[in-house]
A and B are shown apart, each in its own frame.
Chain A
């Protein structure tokens, strides 16, 4: 495989420069720069609450940053009008953490929804496209079920089929492996790789499972404390011995990322006299 830092075919699809975001008084991003090369799978990883989902929301214009530029396919997202933003989103697939299926519609209609809203296709073609995508995620037989009849893992696969139904140029996966059994996880990993390679899609994947992620992604950004704490190919990060990567990928409680939320002295909370220093 060619150098994963370089785009498969030309420039980076997503360019983020000097991104600064503060939410509810907490600094989420403090000057982040990153590139997502075209045709590659890039993972955004980091401890919980570091703003991985917030970064995806910035890329799609659901949330505007305090400062910085976010270029997606050449468009500066924070400067786009609502209509321009919708035009851009037509080329982006987004897999939500909680699937976000439309509960009034069947599985089939959920996947057909983007097609019906934007394209005037013959019903037979809509049916074929939807069944093809459902077959890809292994749920063709569940086409007539309602979202309330699906398990969490099945709902995520339906949401994935909906995200790819229009063959977007960019797919953003927000925690795609949560709730999947090992068989489905394996199939979804393969699907992400196949979609990327055969259709030339660019993928951004937010996840915590390094072992799974390392099997498919080309490049990883580790975000912590509002900065890019580490970046590289999965192999490079696995060998990296910086405190951030050692703690995150080793799953250690002690390290630069505190496991405990700031609190009063434990003994005092339990009603014992404070230990003398």
Chain B
């Protein structure tokens, strides 16, 4: 006896590689146009400044616990590893300098951005995706409220504002963690730790460059998160894929952008 399967829906044919590349390029193009639309909506979004502040609290303050915890442990690991390596050459006095430069220049902005994508980016994507799935964005449009100005732009701006602040907190906790291990545990001199650090770290070349990176990463992660939520298919599966894509794309773009920015800022 023949079974049903003859007209059972067949799995979608595997896409050709060229077609996949074409789709990816189309996504990049769409994301670029979406960025222009957000930038155009920013003047109008200033009317909703309270919404922007609420979003800064949501993506910034609500991410503090994970950022502080991770910053502390990253600093402690750095302190431990570098103390061991530096002690081989008798250079443990440089521990504060090496830890702070690593954090300010690279680890602070990059690790914070990756954590930010996982904590805040996914929640923004899921929130906007569910708003799309339940017609809340359409309802706003029907009430003559532009969702680009009320929903997208405040979340984008919140990412740009919150990321550098979170990176600063991450750096501070990282240095504290390294001090805890290097000075309190392994017995490095407290004055040496701080004086070497303050004499070697340049505010503009090291600290401010790190802040610029954080702003750029905040913009990129927020753009990807908002774009993925805004364009997700209105299904539970669509929202699930969109949140995953936010983390994956954000991580790749942050690391690639870090290389480009480092090359230009060095």
Which single member of A90, A100, A117 contacts B134 (CB below 8 Å)?
A100
By a CB distance below 8 angstroms, the chain A residues around B199 are none
* A-side interface residues, number (CB < 8 Å): 25
> Are B1 and A103 in contact (CB-based, < 8 A)?
no
A86 to B41, CA, bound (A): 14
> Are B135 and A98 in contact (CB-based, < 8 A)?
yes
Which single member of B1, B130, B140 contacts A271 (CB below 8 Å)?
B1
Q: How far is the CB of B75 from chain A (nearest CB, A)?
A: 36
* B interface: dominant SS: helix
Q: How far is the CB of B36 from chain A (nearest CB, A)?
A: 14
> Are A113 and B138 in contact (CB-based, < 8 A)?
no
Q: Does A269 lie at the interface of the complex (its beta carbon under 8 Å from any beta carbon of B)?
A: yes
> Are A269 and B146 in contact (CB-based, < 8 A)?
no
A205 to B233, CA, bound (A): 28
A269 to B1, CA, bound (A): 11
How does the 8 Å CB contact mask read for A138-161 relative to B, with 1 for contact and 0 for none? 000000000000000000000000
> Are B141 and A62 in contact (CB-based, < 8 A)?
yes
> Are A113 and B143 in contact (CB-based, < 8 A)?
yes
Q: Does A92 lie at the interface of the complex (its beta carbon under 8 Å from any beta carbon of B)?
A: yes
Which single member of A113, A264, A271 contacts B3 (CB below 8 Å)?
A271
By a CB distance below 8 angstroms, the chain A residues around B3 are 271
A271 to B140, CA, bound (A): 51
Q: How far is the CB of B82 from chain A (nearest CB, A)?
A: 46
> Are B136 and A103 in contact (CB-based, < 8 A)?
yes
Known: A100-B136, A102-B136. A117 touches B7 (CB 8 A): no
> Are A100 and B139 in contact (CB-based, < 8 A)?
yes
> Are A118 and B144 in contact (CB-based, < 8 A)?
yes
> Are A117 and B145 in contact (CB-based, < 8 A)?
yes
How does the 8 Å CB contact mask read for A71-91 relative to B, with 1 for contact and 0 for none? 000000000001000110110
How does the 8 Å CB contact mask read for B1-20 relative to A, with 1 for contact and 0 for none? 11110110000000000000
> Are B134 and A103 in contact (CB-based, < 8 A)?
yes
By a CB distance below 8 angstroms, the chain A residues around B2 are 268, 271
A220 to B134, CA, bound (A): 29
Please give me the residue from chain A that is nearest to B145 by CB atom: A117
By a CB distance below 8 angstroms, the chain A residues around B144 are 86-87, 89-90, 114, 117-118
Which parts of A234-277 form the interface with B (CB within 8 Å)?
263-264, 268-269, 271
Which single member of B7, B140, B142, B145 contacts A269 (CB below 8 Å)?
B7
Q: How far is the CB of A150 from chain B (nearest CB, A)?
A: 13
A98 to B138, CA, bound (A): 11
Q: How far is the CB of A100 from chain B (nearest CB, A)?
A: 4
Q: How far is the CB of A129 from chain B (nearest CB, A)?
A: 15
> Are B7 and A102 in contact (CB-based, < 8 A)?
no
By a CB distance below 8 angstroms, the chain A residues around B134 are 98, 100, 103
Please give me the residue from chain B that is nearest to A96 by CB atom: B135
How does the 8 Å CB contact mask read for B161-175 relative to A, with 1 for contact and 0 for none? 000000000000000
> Are A62 and B143 in contact (CB-based, < 8 A)?
no
Known: A96-B135, A103-B136. A89 touches B142 (CB 8 A): yes
Of the candidates B2, B6, B131, B144, the one having the most CB atoms from chain A within 10 angstroms of its own CB is B144
Which single member of B4, B139, B146 contacts A102 (CB below 8 Å)?
B139
How does the 8 Å CB contact mask read for B110-145 relative to A, with 1 for contact and 0 for none? 000000000000000000001100111011111111
> Are B135 and A62 in contact (CB-based, < 8 A)?
no
Q: How far is the CB of A117 from chain B (nearest CB, A)?
A: 5
Please give me the residue from chain B that is nearest to A115 by CB atom: B143
Q: Does A108 lie at the interface of the complex (its beta carbon under 8 Å from any beta carbon of B)?
A: no
Q: How far is the CB of A104 from chain B (nearest CB, A)?
A: 9
Q: Does A221 lie at the interface of the complex (its beta carbon under 8 Å from any beta carbon of B)?
A: no
A101 to B131, CA, bound (A): 10
By a CB distance below 8 angstroms, the chain B residues around A118 are 144
By a CB distance below 8 angstroms, the chain B residues around A89 are 141-144
Please give me the residue from chain B that is nearest to A91 by CB atom: B144
Q: Does A60 lie at the interface of the complex (its beta carbon under 8 Å from any beta carbon of B)?
A: yes
Please give me the residue from chain B that is nearest to A113 by CB atom: B143
Q: Does A94 lie at the interface of the complex (its beta carbon under 8 Å from any beta carbon of B)?
A: yes
A187 to B145, CA, bound (A): 30
Q: How far is the CB of B229 from chain A (nearest CB, A)?
A: 14
By a CB distance below 8 angstroms, the chain A residues around B130 are 103
> Are B135 and A100 in contact (CB-based, < 8 A)?
yes
Q: How far is the CB of B38 from chain A (nearest CB, A)?
A: 15
A102 to B128, CA, bound (A): 12
Q: How far is the CB of A260 from chain B (nearest CB, A)?
A: 14
A117 to B44, CA, bound (A): 12
The 7 A-B pairs with the shortest beta carbon distances in the complex, nearest first, are A100-B139, A100-B135, A94-B142, A86-B144, A89-B144, A271-B1, A90-B144
21 A-B contacts (beta carbon < 8 Å): A60-B142, A62-B138, A82-B146, A86-B146, A90-B144, A92-B142, A94-B139, A94-B142, A96-B138, A98-B134, A100-B135, A100-B139, A101-B139, A102-B136, A102-B140, A114-B143, A114-B144, A162-B143, A264-B6, A269-B4, A271-B4
